[in-house]
Structure 1
Amino acid sequence: MLRMDEIDWNSGQPLTDDYIRRYAQTGELFDYNPWSASGWEQRAAWLDTERAYGADRGRLADALYAFNERAGNGLEALNAIERLRDPRALCVVGGQQASLFTGPLLVLYKAVSLIQAARQAEARLSRPVIPVFWIAGEDHDFEEANHVQVLTSDNKLEKIKLAHPGGPRTSVSRTVITAEQWEEALALFEQSLMPTEYKEGFVARLRAAVQGSSSLVDAFARLMASLLGGEGLVLLDSDDPALRELEGPMFRRLVEQSGELNLALAEGSSKLQSLGYEPQVELHPRGANLFVYDDAGERILLYADESGTGFTDRRGERRFSRDQVLRWADETPSRLSNNVLTRPLMQDYLLPVLATVLGPAEIVYWGQTKLAFHKLGMRMPVVAPRLVFTLLEGSVQKNMKKLELTLDDVMERLEEKQEAWLRQQDEWQVERRFAEVVERFKADYEPLVASLGQINPGLQALGATNIGKIVEQMDFLRNKAEDGLRTQNEAGLRQFARVGQSLNPGGKPQERVLNIAAYLNKYGEDWLFELVRANVPLDGKLRICYM
């Protein structure tokens, strides 16, 4: 049984921390209080009685079913999609980029959060609630998604990545990955995994996910389906052409009201600032908050032109008339794409969203969008913080106990604790004794040098240089002695490095850097399903999982 301790923590986002602990200070930026049952009930009631428009449920279910079937998703997920045809069915939605081999741990934690939140909401409301993972396939920042980081046997972080195959700066979903690229990345990834009883099966799962996958989105969906499809997790590619066909009417509204929406977003940002918080997303005064794909497939961010009759790219080199963009919305909506601030609006149009599960930074930029929702006659869904976990392996626990380290020590002051530990191992007291010798030397020698100035001023300057050189040589010897001390205590220093890189790799939270593969390879899957099936509230706390 996986033991968990829960602790309060600071996310690094003041607004998010206040949202979790002091909701009253932030509540006016959101529509529903996630910490009261009435907030969830009010949102469900609004969806039932006041949601004026949205995508056709039948066509939505058809598109989702086709995508999830192609991804090899589980029967439980396909059945969940069928439940979506029920007018009473609601969704809990959250997502992430389609990172290589699922990317950092937080991606899986968000998926676990969706499953937990949907299950809890279904019990609370006595109606179907479906977890939907929104794969941000329309994003074009390939460098953010094309890699995975692994911890080597000598406690170094190593990045395994796919090179961009070339071609236009298009969405991740449309960026084609060759079989040779997959094979190269998979071979490197396999080498990073230690031999265990689970390795062969896990590598086979990875290979099955990449075989026949033409993009990061394809492989990501297949791998997520193989891990969590049996828990009913429904997958959605935001750049799925079948979904784009459903989004046309909403794109038309976003184009027609782009100026008003940008003003609403600016007002939301100002409101956020008036409460003492910094906006996560910077707005451009003429931003349309939409992208178009040009004829070559490049994804281009739109800005209103000076005349207000059309749109341009950032440099004003390419122009698109308003009529042309509206025609695309009506006839070929796959030519259009959302940015980070209109994606929440499109998500709410496409799906009956009861709640959205967000990370700390996402909560901040959603705090900018409330007035934009209202401008379109919509309401923000319930905003729930995703679950946050830190995996504490048995070997790391032992090292921490031996080195007398707390979790706070590792996260906040590990280098300081390491230096203090190293001084404790120094029975010769190298640093103190060298400092005493330097002090005595200066006390005896500096008065002599000062007196030499009475003989010749040049001798005093020469003496000062002489002092510096002697002290420099003493420092050189001290450094060599300290290096020897480190070599003598190399085993202990490796334990410090192991603890630090396991829990705070590269000075960042574990969940933002390390991949799940090393843990599945070492411990199997049972611990992951314990996380999924445990009744963990989405309360914003950090949970330490003792492996």
Structure 2
Amino acid sequence: MKIHDLPLQWYERPQYRPLLPAQGEGRWFILSREELALRHLDAADCESRASGGVADRAGLAAAIENTYEDWGLPRAPEAAAGIERLGRDETLCVVTGQQPGFLGGPLYVLYKALTSIALARWVEKRYGRACVPVFWVAGEDHDIDEVRTARFPGGEPAVFSLPHPAGRAPLSSLPIDPASEAVIEEFISHVSARPHSDTVGELAGQYRGRTVASGFAALLASLLGGHGLVFIDPEKLRPLSRPLVRQCIERPAELIERLEDGSRELEDAGLKPFVSSRLPLFLVRDGSRDHLAPTENGLAIDGGGPRFDRQELLEELEESPGSFSPGALLRPLIQDYLLPSVATVGGPAEAGYFAQLGPFSKWLGVEKPRLVLRFQGTTLAGEGRRAWSELSADTDRLAAALCPEDLVDLDEDHGELEEVRGIRKRLASLDEALAGEGTGSRSLERGLRTARESLARLENRIRKLRARGDADAWKNASSCWKELLPGGKLQERRWGYLHLIAEHGTDWLERIIEEIGKDPFSLSHRLLEFEN
């Protein structure tokens, strides 16, 4: 596998323009760039986190043990060693997480896990501190529609979906029933002719007899446990998170005010808050996870549901802490309260809502998490790579530099040249904007120049193809774009990764870990070119 470093950093890509300042604004973000995403960890960061301790180290170790036992997760020797080390004082961790997905979830889930492994190794090597990568399996989430489908590239994309109806049951309680197992068998049959189909069959088979959440964790534990990645079911930590949940129940109005303070900071900078300022707490009863909203004397199920006296809920918290589930803005603070995390690995979405956490984290008395952005990449393999080789060698740069909606669809309307000209006009307007600011980003300027050059080559290639009437070449062009940006979306959010394992095995995972380890704080986007 070859890894190419693409010219534009993620925050300079047009699809992330909402994170950039308005023209004339001297700052990148409402806070500093360093608060949006860490650019380095130093010895003082590690010392500060180690000396701060965690709420209950022994309870944390027991919760991890219970996760492996209750879910029956594969326990590689490297993961077992990590679990043992987490029970020791001053051991640090790098935490990442995701709601469970089907057949391992999309590529960005894998990238999160690989980044956490690489960063933990980096901390150990650079500062000599024990550091364990930890994956937080957010099985308490209930949005099955968001995670039910796994997609894989091909002439016609292969789509496999869990048959569960939509509902409010946590993913940790949804079983892989016979109908779901039939879909898994269909997928295994789909990859049966690939060189490493047996490996993928074993990975996909980890879902059998489990829930959506434990099956997802078992697949990743089987795949990455040998790299030291440790998994935790946050439901096992509910008793330890009582102090933070208690504040949410006792003082919901104050909590919401602090969230609104964070939202106003973003709005004052001309940015739209990423998460609404509502109470980040859910009640789990009778197999349903429902949002709680403040009332005059307590809380109620949002949308006109049952009302609860505050004292009633506090008593339930003491007797049954598993009845309360955190929302998106509370979850990262619980993570840092309970885990000895020197950093949290997340993507651009997490960068958005982490920026709202400042006032809320101070109010709770929890240090704001240190965010490190995950590895971001686009894979090029199989038919897409063969198609790409027939086009310009710079189409990868073009794909990285432009918005998905700006890319040329060579399959429709034969308006290719007109669309290329339109893109060139938009690039010209970006040039004018940079000139108007007076302080443009050199990286952005280089990226725009590269994009213009790529467009010129692509336009020339289109003219030649049109003149020759080369149907095969048109097909190659279409295949290339469909692989790079399937459905007009970033590939890492659209495709899964088991097809890559079926074709190329698993050695490439260590190659990515090593690449990340060279600079875990890099914001570059990489092209992963798989050689046939």
Q: TM-score range by the shorter chain?
A: 0.7 to 0.9
Contact 1:29 1:272 in 2 (8 A): no
> Does 2:191 match 1:193?
yes
Corresponding residue of 1:508: 489
Aligned ranges for residues 331-350 of structure 1 at < 5 Å?
Answer: 331-350=319-338
Structure 2 Cα separation of the partners of residues 17 and 98 of structure 1 = 31
Cα shift readout 1:28-61 (whole Å, capped 9, x = no counterpart): 5976972244xx444334334456xx43111211
Q: 1:204 to 1:506 in 2, by over 3 A?
A: same
Cα shift readout 1:348-396 (whole Å, capped 9, x = no counterpart): 1111221111100111101001111111222112211111111122653
Contact 2:411 2:478 in 1 (8 A): no
Structure 2 Cα separation of the partners of residues 263 and 29 of structure 1 = 25
> Does 2:273 match 1:279?
yes
Structure 2 Cα separation of the partners of residues 11 and 73 of structure 1 = 42
Aligned ranges for residues 29-108 of structure 1 at < 5 Å?
Answer: 34-37=38-41, 40-50=42-52, 54-69=54-69, 70-108=72-110
Residue identity in the other structure for 1:235: F
Q: 1:353 to 1:15 in 2, by over 3 A?
A: farther
Corresponding residue of 2:279: 288
**Structure 2 unmatched runs, 5+:** 418-465
| Same amino acid, percent of matched pairs | 30
Structure 1 Cα separation of the partners of residues 365 and 382 of structure 2 = 52
Q: 1:62 to 1:505 in 2, by over 3 A?
A: same
Corresponding residue of 2:354: 366
Corresponding residue of 2:212: 216
Instruction: Tell which deviates more after alignment, 506-515 or 489-498.
Output: 489-498
Residue identity in the other structure for 2:287: G
Structure 2 Cα separation of the partners of residues 105 and 128 of structure 1 = 28
Residue identity in the other structure for 1:250: L
Structure 1 Cα separation of the partners of residues 467 and 254 of structure 2 = 63
Contact 2:37 2:373 in 1 (8 A): no
Aligned ranges for residues 373-388 of structure 1 at < 5 Å?
Answer: 373-388=361-376
Residue identity in the other structure for 1:60: L
Q: 1:414 offset after TM fit, Å?
A: 4.7
Structure 2 Cα separation of the partners of residues 11 and 222 of structure 1 = 37
Residue identity in the other structure for 2:225: G
Cα shift readout 1:404-428 (whole Å, capped 9, x = no counterpart): 361244464553667899999xxxx
Aligned ranges for residues 419-498 of structure 1 at < 5 Å?
Answer: 489-498=470-479
Contact 1:43 1:382 in 2 (8 A): no
Residue identity in the other structure for 1:47: R
Contact 2:410 2:474 in 1 (8 A): no
Q: Secondary structure at the match of 1:511?
A: helix
Contact 1:280 1:365 in 2 (8 A): yes
Structure 2 Cα separation of the partners of residues 89 and 115 of structure 1 = 15
Corresponding residue of 1:130: 132
Contact 1:11 1:360 in 2 (8 A): no
Residue identity in the other structure for 1:406: T
Cα shift readout 1:272-316 (whole Å, capped 9, x = no counterpart): 121222111122xxx32200013x2211101101x2x11112222
The equivalent position to 1:541 in structure 2, one of 501, 524, 528, is: 524
Q: 1:15 to 1:408 in 2, by over 3 A?
A: same
Contact 1:303 1:313 in 2 (8 A): yes
Q: 1:487 to 1:74 in 2, by over 3 A?
A: farther
The equivalent position to 1:406 in structure 2, one of 378, 384, 395, is: 395
**Structure 1 unmatched runs, 5+:** 425-484
Structure 2 Cα separation of the partners of residues 351 and 410 of structure 1 = 38
Structure 1 Cα separation of the partners of residues 46 and 231 of structure 2 = 22
Corresponding residue of 1:297: 287
Structure 1 Cα separation of the partners of residues 183 and 412 of structure 2 = 38
Structure 1 Cα separation of the partners of residues 44 and 467 of structure 2 = 62
Instruction: Tell which deviates more after alignment, 368-377 or 406-415.
Output: 406-415
Corresponding residue of 2:408: 415
Q: 1:493 offset after TM fit, Å?
A: 2.9
Q: 1:235 offset after TM fit, Å?
A: 0.8
Q: 1:422 to 1:268 in 2, by over 3 A?
A: closer
> Does 2:226 match 1:230?
yes
TM-score (norm 1): 0.79
Q: 1:149 to 1:416 in 2, by over 3 A?
A: closer
Q: 1:332 to 1:486 in 2, by over 3 A?
A: farther
Q: 1:332 to 1:41 in 2, by over 3 A?
A: same
Q: 1:11 offset after TM fit, Å?
A: 7.0
The equivalent position to 1:141 in structure 2, one of 143, 150, 171, is: 143
Aligned residues: 466
Corresponding residue of 1:263: 257
Contact 2:5 2:524 in 1 (8 A): no
Contact 2:259 2:356 in 1 (8 A): yes
Cα shift readout 1:249-270 (whole Å, capped 9, x = no counterpart): 3321332232222111110111
Structure 1 Cα separation of the partners of residues 413 and 7 of structure 2 = 26
> Does 2:236 match 1:245?
no
Instruction: Tell which deviates more after alignment, 79-88 or 107-116.
Output: 79-88
Cα shift readout 1:192-235 (whole Å, capped 9, x = no counterpart): 3261221133213322x02221x111111110011100011011
Residue identity in the other structure for 2:266: L
Corresponding residue of 2:306: 318
Residue identity in the other structure for 1:257: R
Q: Secondary structure at the match of 1:108?
A: helix
Structure 2 Cα separation of the partners of residues 421 and 397 of structure 1 = 23
C-alpha RMSD of the superposition: 2.8
Structure 1 Cα separation of the partners of residues 37 and 98 of structure 2 = 24
Contact 1:249 1:330 in 2 (8 A): no
TM-score (norm 2): 0.81
Q: Secondary structure at the match of 1:72?
A: coil
Residue identity in the other structure for 1:189: F
